[in-house]
Structure 1
Amino acid sequence: MRMSTWIRQHVAALRALLVLTAITGIVYPLAVFAVAQLPGLHDKAEGSLITIEGKTVGSSLIGQSFTDKDGNALVQYFQSRPSAAGEGYDPTSTAASNLGPESIVDTLDADPANVKLSLLSTVCSRSKEVGGREGVDGSRPFCTKDGVGAVLSVIGPRDADGEVSHPVQVVSVNEACPTTPFLSTYKGVAVECAKPGEDYSVGRTVPIFGYAATDTPVPTDAITASGSGLDPHISPHYAAIQVARIAAARNISADQVREVVEANTDGRTLGFLGEPRVNVVELNLALDSRYPFRG
């Protein structure tokens, strides 16, 4: 009697396994594949590939880096937002940096290959680079003029609130010696540069706001990667500060460039979701088609 019940239960389980396998492993995939072949959906299902003269040059869903072999921005192209996916926009290695707002102290080392920048210094260096390339002010709060995080380690006895009222040593932790620190003194104590490999975590970490305006010309998407690392879009603001460079490189007017930008700008999804965005891949291809680079 018990054996019969045991057999019936296992036979029922086997039937359920076979039925669900057929539905989820055969019927459902075939149904999705069939729907993907419908007009208007086929191209999206195939990856929204962009082809020119029969050659696949990219996807409207995946960004690209428009740089030379050394990683320098090509002057004739709009630049995408940074990517943390592999070597950049690698669909097989989609990822973010996983660095958060508390990542403000760099790991310094005598060997430059072993230096690890914090999120703050990464943002500062990118902002300085973008500002220099586009001819705008790339300075930001909590950044030094040299493009690293303006962060001090204030060492000394602490009060009940953890504050160091009378520091005995102050170190600019993101500026390796023999660099001259961005700040000469802090609370009457001379600020020192950081010795690579030295641990200054015993001190109180103090980020310094500085004098840069919060309304910086360099937008956030120009200096931070997307969650996937594959985003092909930038903000209209970031596109706008690149117009002058593109126009000069292609020997056309800024208005001609803006016209192409406008044609490749998408509004909010359904009119209220997200923000307006510019597809950099499609934009650069449109520029090449209408105003080829003669450099």
Structure 2
Amino acid sequence: MRLPSWLSQHLAALRALLLFTVLLGLAYPLLFVGAGKIPGMSDRAAGSLVSSGSLLIGQSFTDAAGNPVPEYFQSRPSAGGYDPDATGASNLGPESVVDVLADDPDDASPSLLTQVCARSRAIGELEGVDGGRPYCTADGVGAVLAVFRRDGFTGPVTRVVSVNQTGTPFLARYEGVTVEAARVGEDYRALGGVITPIRGGAPAEPAVPADAVTASGSGLDPHISPAYAALQAPRVARERGIDLGRVRELIAAHTDGRALGFLGQPAVNVLELNLALDGR
């Protein structure tokens, strides 16, 4: 007996529903559960949990005031403060070089450049190295001028303002014109100034690595570069009173290589390294 076309269509749809329910609702999840039980993968599948959190999520090693605890390796910056509920980036890009100045520090908004400069200066002081880097002033803000010319973008310079400094400018004169300090509330770009970052005399390869002063896209990256770990090693060894060679051995032991041997860069898991230093 031939079934009506509408009924055969419904039966075909029902068979497809049952088939894909079994394949995608049962077989597929069970396949990945089984893969998660493979030796070497079971720990990651379970979240790589330890007593202080997860090895897959970074943590801050700072005191109540936000200052680095000197006997621990420090993580890279985090826009969300390593809060899994606030994961994300700052959304500031390479064009963010002009600070929003305000009389009340809570109303001020530093540019990405100034954040990088301030972090580099602070890390330089912590590690006892030169924290200077290109386009940064000695006091840790972006070295940026608003340059006004007679004909807009051409002609002689008529006025120069250090847009990120309300105090003494980092540069006394620019093309023969005295550099002014910025005034709160002024938008020098809107007034016709050409925003001009000044490279300065910092070395092309700063002593402080880039990952030490820039946050990851997620704000939860648990890794730092081997270069940043090597920079911190003397401080950690000194603060803990242990041999520097032993600290370097621990860094090497907790350095992950490139994925599949060629993807990405080697990286050091900071939480694993600090737990190893604590003997846990």
Provide, for residues 79-131 of structure 1, a one-character-per-residue CA deviation record: whole Å limited to 9, x for no partner.
111112x2x22223321222111111111111111111111111101100100
- What letter matches 2:98 in structure 1? V
1:153 partner SS: strand
Matches within 5 A, 1:7-86: 16=16, 19-50=19-50, 56-84=51-79, 86=80
Query: Structure 1 residue aligned with 2:215, among 197, 208, 225?
Result: 225
| RMSD, matched Cα | 2.2
For residues 107 and 14 of structure 2, the distance between their equivalents in structure 1, rounded to whole angstroms, comes to: 56
TM-score (norm 1): 0.85
TM-score (norm 2): 0.89
Q: CA deviation at 1:22?
A: 4.9
- What letter matches 2:219 in structure 1? G
Q: CA deviation at 1:181?
A: 0.5
Match of 1:193 in 2: 181
For residues 146 and 204 of structure 2, the distance between their equivalents in structure 1, rounded to whole angstroms, comes to: 24
Match of 1:133 in 2: 126
Large movers: runs of 4+ above 6 Å? 4-8
For residues 284 and 94 of structure 1, the distance between their equivalents in structure 2, rounded to whole angstroms, comes to: 23
Kept in 2: contact 1:110–1:197 (CA 8 A): no
- What letter matches 1:244 in structure 2? P
Q: CA deviation at 1:11?
A: 6.6
Does residue 272 (structure 1) correspond to residue 272 (structure 2)? The answer is: no
For residues 154 and 15 of structure 1, the distance between their equivalents in structure 2, rounded to whole angstroms, comes to: 72
Query: Structure 2 residue aligned with 1:216, among 206, 223, 240?
Result: 206
Residue 258 to residue 38, structure 1, CA distance change in 2 (3 Å): closer
Does residue 92 (structure 1) correspond to residue 113 (structure 2)? The answer is: no
For residues 274 and 27 of structure 2, the distance between their equivalents in structure 1, rounded to whole angstroms, comes to: 41
**Which structure 1 residue ranges, 5 or more long, are not aligned?**
51-55, 291-295
Greater CA deviation, 14-23 or 144-153? 14-23
For residues 255 and 37 of structure 2, the distance between their equivalents in structure 1, rounded to whole angstroms, comes to: 28
Provide, for residues 34-73 of structure 1, a one-character-per-residue CA deviation record: whole Å limited to 9, x for no partner.
33234333211111123xxxxx223222111100111100
Q: CA deviation at 1:7?
A: 7.2
For residues 14 and 198 of structure 1, the distance between their equivalents in structure 2, rounded to whole angstroms, comes to: 68
Residue 108 to residue 25, structure 1, CA distance change in 2 (3 Å): farther
Matches within 5 A, 1:139-154: 139-154=132-147
